[in-house]
Chains A and B, each alone.
Chain A
Amino acid sequence: MATQTLIPAGDFRTTYAADTTVFPTRTSRNAMIVGIILICFAPQVLNEYTLSLLIQIGIFGIAALGLNIVVGFTGQISIGHAAFFGFGAFTSAYLSNRFGIPVFFCIPLAGIVTAGVGLIFGLPAARLKGLYLAIATLAAQYILLDFFARAEWFTGGSVPASAEAFSIFGYSLRGDKKYFYVVLAYVIICYLLVTNLIRSRDGRALVAVRDHYLSAEIMGINLTKYRTLSFGLAAFFAGVGGALYAHYNQVVSNEGFGIDRSIIFLAMIIIGGIGSVAGTLMGTAFMVLLPESMEWLSVALRGSPIDTVLGLKNNIAFLREMAIGLIIIVFLVFEPDGLAHRWRRIKAYWKLYPFSH
């Protein structure tokens, strides 16, 4: 079937190829390509601050994508994602400092090493499910954090570890303007990988484990293998994200990999849409921009009565934390399918615009 420019009404899919296609129409594919080309010009147009936000969205977006594989596609809960993110950051810094491996190779290597650690902590998944697994990952979070504080040879202990700047063929990509392209390349590669994973045999097996694990097992899907595999995959993307984060800041300290960061990762995928690849990026953008917009709001309100009542200047950190929690609750109660679903609704509304209903 030739690709069309518009989806027909009723959305009939008659072949498997049509059902698993990434872009349902030619227009959507072209729009994506044009979008990527346009974003390549971002460093020339945008200022440093906006760029740094975009880079953060990209980095956290990759890690959140990993979490979405576990939570969204395999239906397991992981509360320890930030620890894997941190492990990736430290591993990449360690590999490049200790063995002198070029940063270009360190990032995927850090992903692989973190995937190994993820597989170890995913082993309880062989026997556990649901909330028992959630509690196991909570323990993993604390154990890994303790390890970071303890292993001075690896993390530098209380002194932050330094990470080299990204360079390729001796050409250093230091600074937001150049590093933006590195992150962009990784975002495109990772999102393509996961989109294709979901279309593959293994991806369908993961979804089957989520939807009904007993039926999946009866159909010959190895539950142990796929549950553990999903943890490994999640840790891989967390590790890649963490490595990118390390070489972006060029310093990795022990802070920022705690349970609160794990909760933010969970918030990203809940807001974006559990089990939606594109939604992950939307949710990440939302969660990165939320604290920033609160910052802008507090600056705008400075000196006003609201400011004096709330004491915005000193308490903005607590208000931010509260906002994160409240946003999660609001989304879970009112919009459990997340922003991705809302986006589809908006598209559906405009498709028949003057004649909807």
Chain B
Amino acid sequence: MNTQLLIQLLVNGLVVGTLYGVVAMSFVLIYKATQVVNFAQGELLLIGAWVCWWLLTKYQVPFYLGMPITLVFMFVFGIAIQVVILRPMIGEPIISVIMVTIALSTVFSALMKWIFGVNLQPFPRIFTTQNVNILGLQVQTVYLMSLAVSLAMMVGMAWFFRLSKYGLAMRATAFNQQVAQSLGISVKSVFAMAWAISATVSAVAGVVVAVVNGVSAGLSAYGVKVFPAAILGGLDSVGGAVLGGIIIGLLENFAHFLDSEYLHWGNLYEIAPFYALIIILMIKPYGLFGTKDIERV
């Protein structure tokens, strides 16, 4: 057994998994606050990464300036999507809302391909040192950065929900919209804020992935991997989404290990999360931490 490879892959899985966790977290945020399943989450990553890449290469903006501009742009963009497209859909059947987000993802991915092309574009180098040696393992600096950024975003999100006033308003809205409204919370602005925060957080994840792998249309695949992660953790649990993301990331890389060492089926790591998804849906559809909703007539 190739222990070195296994450890390398598990570290990889942890890094990718925390990124999945961050994306799943922003996905769950939208679902929890506005009851919208966002099939365009991956495209939000893509847009954030492309905008940042464009600022950095075309206008030679330094990274410490380009990143905040990207985040501000994505914040406004998130609000714009909610106000222009999803606000008229409030009260429509769930299938229409899902279809709107699917259509949005088609539009955005085609738009990005049209503007920026289909080829992989390398991201400008941000770090001077390539590798760091930790306990005898060569770890790329960008991986450490990715892990640190993901953890920082999770902590930030936890702080936001537990201690800030807006976070409280959001939790109240998620719990019961009518009661929240009667307590003076503007549900409209909470909805818009949920989209804005989700878009911003996704953009950070998108930039991180872009720094590691470069920017291409394939980045939106992260939006599809969100589903196994979010379902495993429970669709309405922010913490569960993070855990689900890490588990899916580890599972993916473990499948890759099994595949390359023993099975030799090829591409197993791409499809393993979806088998996991089906199994979870069959045995425990509400996930690890999701609330089992009670139906009343």
Contact = CB atoms under 8 A, between A and B. Distances in A.
A311 B92 CA distance: 37
A5 B111 CA distance: 51
Interface stretch (B3-11, B67-75, B120-128, B264-272): B264-272
A143 B275 contact: yes
Nearest to B85: A329
Contacts of A123: 282
Interface in B32-71: 37
Contacts of A214: 295, 297
B90 to A, nearest CB: 12
Contacts of B150: none
Counting chain B CB atoms within 10 Å of each CB, which of A132, A139, A320, A324 scores highest? Answer: A139
Q: Is the interface of B mostly helix, strand, loop or mixed?
A: helix
A131 interface: yes
Interface in A231-276: 260, 263, 266-267, 270, 274
B278 interface: yes
Interface string A115-140: 00000000110011011101110111
Contacts of A322: 106-107, 110-111, 114
Nearest to B265: A150
Interface stretch (A56-64, A71-79, A183-191, A222-230): A71-79
A263 B115 CA distance: 22
A176 B227 CA distance: 42
A146 B278 CA distance: 15
A79 B274 CA distance: 14
A318 B285 CA distance: 36
B103 A128 contact: no
A interface bracket (residues with beta carbon within 8 Å of B): 35 or more
Nearest to A315: B114
Contacts of A215: 297
Contact of B106 (A128, A136, A143, A324): A324
B92 A135 contact: no
Nearest to B35: A131
A41 B227 CA distance: 50
B256 to A, nearest CB: 14
Contact of A329 (B104, B114, B275): B104
Nearest to A143: B274
Contact of A332 (B99, B265, B271, B274): B99
B95 interface: yes
Given A315-B114, A329-B100, A260 B106 contact: yes
Q: Is the interface of A mostly helix, strand, loop or mixed?
A: helix
A156 interface: no
Given A132-B285, A149-B267, A325-B107, A266 B99 contact: yes
B109 interface: yes
A79 B102 contact: yes
B139 interface: no
Given A132-B285, A266-B102, A329-B104, A321 B109 contact: yes
Given A319-B114, A336-B92, A124 B278 contact: yes
Interface string B235-251: 10000000000000000
Contact of B103 (A71, A140, A332, A336): A332
Contacts of B297: 214-215
A146 B267 contact: yes
A188 B98 CA distance: 32
Interface string B258-286: 00000001110011001101100110010
A269 B95 CA distance: 12
A349 interface: no
Contacts of B228: 139
A142 interface: yes
A219 interface: no
A174 to B, nearest CB: 36
B89 interface: yes
A140 B104 CA distance: 22
Interface in A139-176: 139-140, 142-143, 146, 149-150
B113 interface: yes
Contacts of A79: 102
Nearest to A327: B103
28 contacts: A79-B102, A128-B281, A131-B94, A131-B235, A135-B281, A136-B278, A138-B227, A139-B281, A140-B278, A143-B274, A146-B271, A263-B103, A263-B106, A318-B111, A319-B114, A320-B110, A321-B106, A321-B109, A321-B113, A322-B107, A324-B106, A325-B105, A325-B106, A326-B103, A328-B100, A328-B102, A332-B100, A333-B88
Interface of B: 37, 85, 88-89, 92, 94-96, 98-100, 102-107, 109-111, 113-114, 224, 227-228, 231, 235, 265-267, 270-271, 274-275, 277-278, 281-282, 285, 295, 297
Given A123-B282, A138-B227, A140-B278, 14 more contacts: A75-B95, A77-B94, A139-B281, A150-B266, A214-B297, A215-B297, A263-B106, A318-B114, A319-B110, A321-B107, A326-B103, A326-B107, A328-B100, A332-B103
Interface of A: 71, 75, 77, 79, 123-124, 127-128, 130-132, 134-136, 138-140, 142-143, 146, 149-150, 214-215, 260, 263, 266-267, 270, 274, 315, 318-322, 324-326, 328-329, 332-333, 336
Would you list the 6 A-B pairs with minimal beta carbon distance, nearest first? A325-B106, A325-B107, A321-B110, A328-B103, A318-B114, A322-B110
